Amino acid sequence: SVERELFDALLKTRLVVSRSECGYSRCGRTDRGVSAASQSNTTTSTMNRLEKDMKEYPYSRILNSILPPSIRILGWTPVTEEFSARFSSGARTYRYFFCKRQMNMDLIRDGLRNLVGKHDFRNLCKMDVEKVYNFERVIHSAELIQLSTTKTGDGEEKDSNRHQDVYYLQIIGQAFLWHQIRYIAEVIFMVGRGYEPPSIISELLDVKKYPGKPSYCLADEKPLVLHNCSY
C-alpha cells in the first residue's frame, strides 16, 4: 500500500523512530482497489524544535529519493500538536467515474439532490455495528459532472479525454461510512437505468420506513477515487 511505502521511507530516512511514537495520523483510508489523490498525513519529526535557529529539512526531496516513482510527496507544512489529519479535515471529496451508455442523466441528477444534507445512511453503507453506532453523516454537495471538452479550430467541441460519454459523480461530505459511496453509486445507476425512481434515495434515507437494509449490490471499486481532503 502507499502507506506502507511511505512509512518504510520515513524509517529509512530516520525522520521517525517508530510508528507508535511519531503521532501518525492519516486523513482517510480507502477500500482495496480504490484510488486516492491529494492525501494528507501528520507525523512528529525527530528534529529538536527547541533550537530556534535550526532550519527544517527538505522533507519532500528526502522522501521522494526513497519512494517509488509512483508515489510523490508534493509538499509539507508544520502543524500544531492538536492537529489531526483525520479529525481536522472539514470535508472529503469522492469521485466515481463511469460511462453514460444508456443511462438517463437527468434522473441521476434528480437522485443525487436527495443526498444533500444530514441523513442516516445505514441503508446506504456496509454496517459495522461493532465500531460504528452513529450512521448520520452530512453531505455538502452531490453532483453529476461530465469530463471537460475543448473547442477545435473549426468551432466544434472535442473531448479532451476522447471519451465524450464519461461522467463522474462528485460527492462532498464531512465524513463517510464504510462502502457508503459505492452503495450510493449502485443505487444511482439503477435510477439512471430506470429500474428505480429518483425518490428511492429519499426513501432509503427514511430508516423508519426501511428499518432493514435492502439487498443492493456493491458498485465496483476501481472507478472510485478519494479525490481530496480539505482543511
Enumerate the active-site residues.
31
Place of cell 522533507: 59
Query: Hey, how many other C-beta atoms are within 10 angstroms of the C-beta on 91?
Result: 15
Which among 133, 130, 164, 134 is positioned nearest to 149, based on CA atoms? 164
The separation between CA 230 and the C-alpha centre of its own chain, rounded to angstroms, equals 11
C-alpha grid cell for residue 125?
453503507
H or E stretch including 92? strand 91-99
Contact predicate 181/225, CB 8 Å? no
C-alpha grid cell for residue 52?
530556534
Q: Is residue 63 classed as helix, strand or coil in its secondary structure?
A: helix
d(CA 181, CA 166): 18
d(CA 75, CA 121): 35
d(CA 134, CA 49): 40
